[in-house]
Amino acid sequence: MTPFGWMIVAFAVFMTGVCLFAYVQIERNAYQTRQRRLARKHDVQDYPAL
């Protein structure tokens, strides 16, 4: 394999890592948002406004 071919492979692996990292961050944020929303709903039900 030529050095240029190795550069292409390295770039493809790097971009795969970047995409995976972005996907994990998006899913993590969605999960945290869901948990916050559930906790807020739970708090409102437990302690209704006076």
Tally the domains of the chain: 1
The answer as to whether 34 is a domain residue is yes
What is the pTM for the complete model shown?
0.69
The answer as to whether 35 is a domain residue is yes
The answer as to whether 49 is a domain residue is no
Structural domain of 25: 1-43
What are 6-50's pLDDT values in tens digits?
999 999 999 999 999 999 999 999 999 999 888 887 776 766 665
Cα–Cα distance for residue pair 11/13, rounded to 1 Å:
5
Of how many residues is the chain composed? 50
Q: How confident is the model at residue 3 (pLDDT cuts 50, 70, 90)?
A: very high
